[in-house]
Amino acid sequence: MKKTLLFLGMITFLAACQSKPDGEQAQTEQSKEAAVSLGGENYNIDITNSKVSFFGSKPVGTHHGVFAFKDGTFQLKDGNIVAGNFNIDINSMKIVDEGIDDDTRAKLTGHLLSPDFFEAEKFGTSKFEITSIENVTGDANATHKVSGNLTLKDSTQNVTFPAKITVENGKINAIAEFVIDRTKWGLFYGNDKSLGDKFIYPEVKIALDIHSSNS
């Protein structure tokens, strides 16, 4: 009886731990031609107050990290965003997990920046360029549907996701959350598709928080 209860308890524990990141799955396709603004106005992003966050999961926990932007620009025409491109500094990554010590944080950072994942020494910049943007109605959580080419390492895929974007008083604010399959960009643990990688879920949630500079 005790063995049965212990077994059931282990199953319950594992089921509780094995939760993948929540959020809407981004549609992923081959890269497309970037949107071009003809006669639009450029708005640089505020790299100090803009960021990209990621949430990766494994059966025993979740890791939360933040990247900074190197630069980025929105193009507006007639008050609407029509194009944009952004460069993300992979080497700026900070692990912001709660409850871990500095040594564990440093080891995890080094591991993720190594060839096991981002290979940041070789691929220090990730890029995102808008390929299309459409207005959305009837959705309390989104105002637009954004498609863009996301480059990680040496791979580029087009992703489509909902976003909440406002253009007011000369400022642009854009927030979005979506889930991608990191393996589509070749992000495997140690490039090993067998045992090791099965303990890290391929789904990763991306959160964008982007603000333009004062115009």
State pLDDT tens for residues 176-198: 999 999 999 988 865 445 545 55
Is 69:86 a contact under the CB 8 Å cutoff? yes
Q: How many Å apart are CA 75 and CA 85, to the nearest integer?
A: 9
Residue 57 pLDDT grade (very low, low, confident, very high; cuts 50, 70, 90) = confident
pTM: 0.85
Res. 73 pLDDT band, cuts 50 70 90? very high
More confident residue, 121 or 14: 121
User: Does residue 55 register a pLDDT over 50?
Assistant: yes
Q: Is the pLDDT of residue 22 over 90?
A: no
Classified by CATH at the fold level, domain 20-211 comes out as Lipocalin (2.40.128)
Count helices and strands (H / E) in the chain.
2, 10
Amino acid, res. 215:
S
114 φψ region: left (φ > 0), alpha (ψ -120 to 50), beta (else): beta
Tell whether the model's pLDDT for residue 50 goes beyond 60: yes
Confidence of residue 14 (pLDDT cuts 50, 70, 90): very low
Angle at alpha carbon of residue 94, lines to 89 and 97, rounded to 5°: 150
State the pLDDT confidence band at 129, using cuts at 50, 70 and 90.
very high
Domain ranges of the chain: 20-211
When comparing pLDDT for 31 and 62, which is higher? 31
Cβ–Cβ contacts within 10 Å for residue 1, how many? Answer: 5
At a CB cut-off of 8 Å and minimum separation 6, what does 7 contact? none
Q: Is the pLDDT of residue 125 over 70?
A: yes
Residue found under tokens 């500079």: 213
Residue 95 has pLDDT above 90, yes or no: yes
